[in-house]
Amino acid sequence: VEGEAAGGRGVLRRAEGKRRPGRSRGTPRTAETAQRLKRSRRLKANNRERNRMHNLNAALDALRDVLPTFPEDAKLTKIETLRFAHNYIWALTETLRLA
């Protein structure tokens, strides 16, 4: 462990090639432990995916807010929102180009 390489502020870093002590990859686990680990990983992956979808939906809602739609209460689907945004940006670009 190197202390000097981190500026001598008491921050410790591991030397190149050193691994943390702990369970080696080849150590067998009990079936119960393996199942618990698998479930934990799946729950974490599900949470990451849920958060990703929440963020995507929030971004699409923000995009819908700035696009002109008629009637105002009509909510575009995800693909409609993306296609409309693409066409709207193209139309604005063409308007600027011709002006």
Domain boundaries, the chain: 31-98
Mind listing the pLDDT tens digit for each residue in 29-59? 899 999 999 999 999 999 999 999 999 999 9
Q: pTM score > 0.85 for this model?
A: no
What are φ and ψ of residue 70, in 5° steps? -135, 125
Structural fold of domain 31-98: MYOD Basic-Helix-Loop-Helix Domain, subunit B (4.10.280)
Listed in sequence order, the residues at least 6 apart from 37 whose beta carbon sits closer than 8 Å to its beta carbon are 29
